[in-house]
Amino acid sequence: MKIFATLGAAAAMMTAGAAYAGPAVLVEAKDHAIISGGIGSGTPLETRNQSGLAAFYVDEGTSLHPFTAVITHTTIFSGYEWFSDSGTTSAAVSYFVDASSRIKGINHFVLWNEESSGIGVFDLYYGAAPGALTDLVLAGITPTDNPLVDYLPDVYEFSKRPNTGWWTLVMDGCPQPIVGSYPACAVGEVAWGGPSVPEPATWAMMLGGFGLVGFAARRRRQSLSVTA
């Protein structure tokens, strides 16, 4: 009976998958809108499509923390970054995130702060439309002032927000103190993250594992009974 109880418990876990979430995975923004700072140079598309990263991640599939611990962003500008208009000290860009139901809320923001003309300080808002400053998620954050080499990201964690919505990055104090060659706000790359529910194949493997454990336990009990 215990083997069936074990399998039953595992099946219940699978049925209640929405209540279980694993480690955070990376979520890619799907759209963007420049709110202030001018058209600038480059495009915000290049700050959300992974073009400047040393390796690509799988949207909603790659574990956030191991990836961000080692993957750098290039110092090359063309095709990989966005700069606000020359001479601007503040700017704002909104990013649209639309994660699937596998993601159980968005609770991470990842920023590769551009090494030459990066952000001095920023606020991050969540809202229903581009530029909507409805929900202040992160306030007065000073990102890493990166030197002129390929650079790692900063990772910020906060309480969960919905899977779908616009995130507005309000930048100020630009460029960062270690100034490069261009007086402006600049973004290397951004990403979001949230805990995910395992894929059905993963649940199947877990169920199989539970079954083997239960079977082994039953065989052991039978063996002990014969010995006794």
Q: What would the mean pLDDT of 109-120 be, rounded to a whole number?
A: 95
The rounded distance, in Å, linking the Cα atoms of 180 and 203 is 50
Whether the ω angle into residue 175 lies within 30 degrees of 0, i.e. cis, is yes
In the sheet with 154-161, reading across from the earlier edge strand, the strands are: 24-27, 189-195, 106-112, 154-161
Q: What pLDDT does 182 receive?
A: 86
pLDDT at 157 over 50: yes
pTM attached to this predicted model: 0.81
Q: What would the mean pLDDT of 66-91 be, rounded to a whole number?
A: 96
**Confidence tier at 116 by pLDDT (50, 70, 90):** confident
Q: What pLDDT does 90 receive?
A: 98
Lowest mean per-residue pLDDT among 54-58, 131-135, 136-140, 206-210: 206-210
Q: What pLDDT does 58 receive?
A: 98
What percent of the chain stands above pLDDT 90?
Answer: 72
**Confidence tier at 209 by pLDDT (50, 70, 90):** very low
For residue 41, count CB atoms less than 10 angstroms from its CB and return exposed for 0-12, middle for 13-18, buried for 19 or more.
Answer: middle
pLDDT tens by residue, 168-182: 999 999 998 876 678
